[in-house]
Structure 1
Amino acid sequence: MTLTLYALDGCPFCETVHDALTEAGIDYETEWVEAMHSERNEVKRVSGQRGVPVLVDDDHGVTMAESEKILQYVDRTLA
């Protein structure tokens, strides 16, 4: 399974997603993004926007933003 979580250190929404993935025992990689919103070019490239968290699931061809949607996806699809 190839999952990548784009996150910002200290972001409470990112931490919530991180905790859910960890508690579910799901392996994933974290790509830490720049604090400056305007410098988050990698996140924009993969998701079309610069906000975090963003989860990319290469196995299912899914890229999603917004922590609540990501948590639902983790619960329904990955856990």
Structure 2
Amino acid sequence: MIELYRLRGCPYCRNVERKLDELEVEYECHNVSLFRFRRSDVKAVSGQSGVPVLVDPEHDVSGMVESEDIIAYLERTYG
């Protein structure tokens, strides 16, 4: 199952969630801390602390960053 690391209220994260919902892709959501220094889980999967971060084990994606890249990937893969 796809995993999305996101911060509540983040417009970039919301854009990714909208695309997942639009494509009817099931995903598990991980809410992260407002404080970057507390995002060790995000850093473990992506090497950085920004969000959104997408993990898609079925397609060997293990920490995709940048909302525009994630949305383009979702359209290509699930669209």
Q: Fold conserved (TM > 0.5)?
A: yes
Backbone CA RMSD of aligned residues: 0.6
Unpaired runs of at least 5, structure 2: none
3-state DSSP of counterpart to 1:29: strand
Give the Å deviation of 1:78. 1.8
Q: Which structure 1 residue ranges, 5 or more long, are not aligned?
A: none
Deviations 1:36-72 (A, max 9, x none): 0111000000110000000000111103000000000
Equivalent residue of 1:26, what SS?
coil
Please give the residue correspondences for 1:30-49 in structure 2 after superposition, counting only pairs within 5 Å: 30-49=29-48
Q: Partner amino acid for 1:77?
A: T
TM-score, normalised with respect to structure 2: 0.96
For 1:1-79, list aligned pairs within 5 A: 2-62=1-61, 63-79=63-79
Shift of 1:15: 0.2
Paired AA for residue 77 in structure 2? T
Q: Which runs of 4+ in 1 moved over 3 A?
A: none
Q: Give me the whole-angstrom Cα distance separating, in 2, the residues matched to 1:5 and 1:78.
A: 15
What's the TM-score, normalizing by structure 1?
Answer: 0.96
Instruction: Give SS of 2:64's match.
Output: strand
Alignment partners' CA distance in 2, 1:22 and 1:57: 15
Q: 1:46 and 1:31 mapped to 2: Cα distance? A: 12
